[in-house]
Chain A
């Protein structure tokens, strides 16, 4: 009998090529990074190694990776929810910032018992966050305004109004810099196992599981995806499209706002941001790379947090500006997002596979 090569089906080839594409994208980005490092650095090999494996060298950096991924989990989940419902709502940046401000406003009030104080602060952040992302959703459903524009503008509104509150009623004149009053000890999130990671990590993990459950196992999740893939069909099959979009926007905003609250209460003792934190944009990138799948989001988040930590390490140990890593990040995104990148290779593999299968059937 003729021995034939191992058969694969088309899906297997496709998923294999997804991995190949991602790896190639990362390799291309690394080569470009290496070339840039060659230009700037006087110790290129050392610096390049730091970029690759820097965070693995000590446990402290690994903890930083996890700590950095906590806020990104919130924003990535928030964005993936609205995207699943077909809404290009990029308000997570504003929801995150405003959520942090709202949590600050509650966290500076003295005399609230410990656990309740944390819950109230986070809740305040969540509510304000849901307003920031909810308004574009509401305007879309009521007035058919363009969500990408209104949500982008809401980010700036949230930023400037948030800064107003931080720099006026909440400003601590004795701080010596532009920051809010210090949080009451009762409002600060405790740390896990005496490390630098706050209990916010647990909240983030709960949110990820909640989102995965919501999308895959509930009627609401099904409605959301139906609205996202075909709003007209969803409407004909009796789904209240407007209500679904509004609910998703409010929910996503709440998650983004909680993210902002958890980040400030978990890592700082007062509110000190003076501009956008980029968590919203990073979250958007993760959501899109993970194709809005909550199960993949932790992986994407860890990857991003890892290279950001590398960048910070590199910044400390060399004269390479951390912007280098943002450039690398951008290159990786654009290559992974390029659906036709290496596609002809994949097509050839699929065709070859089908042909050999036909041959086998012919033998039989």
Chain B
């Protein structure tokens, strides 16, 4: 089993598993910084996954597919933000309702267009290309491991940098954090809190959309019913584990990716697949216990000082 773990194929498997969760978790980081409890990333990812597939199948243009995919996810994010921010809807309920709408709505649309409910495999949709980085590709040992991944996997890494830069190095990021941490003070300082939160939610929707499109236009070549399978939630968990830090969140998603890839590997060694499937979820629980315990300890330390 060891030679399977230390192989290029295993690294590729980790990247394939981590990428969608990475996008979902980065969306969650932006949402959490604006203090919006959004569980609707599943719905954004589902609609983006379907929108991208349909548009690319009908126009045969990857660019249009991508734009429509982003627009689909963005629409859901916009609806969520409008209900939560302007109609004072409980975020948990709005997210729950949208997820339900996303799961059912995508099946409904697939059925409408293809006459089948399971997937869109009869449509000739496009996929994002794999990228072979010249020069680096030729470096022995590490070259084949870091080159040749899907374009969206590399975009995922850029998204981490983008989110970090946005939150900590731009004026908008400062406004988002202020609106999230202390809305009254932010309002007093002249920030339009609702508008800021709306922008944060829309950015988060764009990021989540790429996670959805990775699933249906890279990991799989077509859309399958409920293709997200809880990845939006795992993304939220990853964000929670690291307390909202972009780089910490990325590490958490890689840990998830490793445990999922490991699960896939274990399955091929005839271990009961259910034990393998449980692994990432147990890791999350363990992680949130560690993070919580650390926070409690820090609070105690502060109490002892004063």
A interface, CB within 8 angstroms of B = 36, 39-40, 88, 135, 139-140, 143-146, 148-150, 152-154, 156-157, 160-161, 163-164, 167-168, 281, 284-285, 288, 321, 323-324, 326-327, 329-331, 333-334, 337-341, 343
Contact of A338 with B288 in the complex, beta carbons under 8 Å: no
Contacts of A88 in B (CB 8 A): 92
* Partner among A154, A164, A327 whose Cβ is within 8 Å of the Cβ of B101: A327
The segment from B3-11, B12-20, B104-112, B212-220 that touches chain A is: B104-112
Contact of A333 with B93 in the complex, beta carbons under 8 Å: yes
Contact of B101 with A281 in the complex, beta carbons under 8 Å: no
When chains A and B are docked, how far (Å) is the Cα of A323 from the Cα of B8?
42
Closest chain B CB from A2 CB (angstroms)? 39
Closest to A322 in B: B104
B interface, CB within 8 angstroms of A = 39, 83, 86-90, 92-94, 96-98, 100-101, 103-105, 107-108, 111-112, 117, 230, 233, 236-237, 240, 272, 274-275, 277-278, 281-282, 284-285, 288-289, 291-293, 295-296
Closest chain A CB from B263 CB (angstroms)? 10
Closest to B87 in A: A338
Contact of B117 with A321 in the complex, beta carbons under 8 Å: yes
Contact of A326 with B272 in the complex, beta carbons under 8 Å: no
When chains A and B are docked, how far (Å) is the Cα of A323 from the Cα of B110?
11
Contact of A330 with B97 in the complex, beta carbons under 8 Å: yes
Contact of A143 with B293 in the complex, beta carbons under 8 Å: yes
Q: Which of A36, A40, A321 has the most CB of B within 10 A?
A: A321
Contact of B88 with A321 in the complex, beta carbons under 8 Å: no
When chains A and B are docked, how far (Å) is the Cα of A144 from the Cα of B103?
32
Contact of B98 with A152 in the complex, beta carbons under 8 Å: no
Closest chain A CB from B122 CB (angstroms)? 17
When chains A and B are docked, how far (Å) is the Cα of A36 from the Cα of B284?
40
Contact of A334 with B83 in the complex, beta carbons under 8 Å: yes
Contact of B274 with A167 in the complex, beta carbons under 8 Å: yes
Contact of B105 with A327 in the complex, beta carbons under 8 Å: yes
Closest chain B CB from A178 CB (angstroms)? 12
Contacts of B98 in A (CB 8 A): 330, 334
* Partner among A146, A321, A334 whose Cβ is within 8 Å of the Cβ of B97: A334
Closest to B284 in A: A153
Q: Which of A40, A144, A149, A161 has the most CB of B within 10 A?
A: A149
Contact of B272 with A324 in the complex, beta carbons under 8 Å: no
Contacts of A146 in B (CB 8 A): 240, 288, 292
When chains A and B are docked, how far (Å) is the Cα of A149 from the Cα of B233?
8
Contact of B292 with A323 in the complex, beta carbons under 8 Å: no
When chains A and B are docked, how far (Å) is the Cα of A281 from the Cα of B295?
30
Closest chain A CB from B270 CB (angstroms)? 12
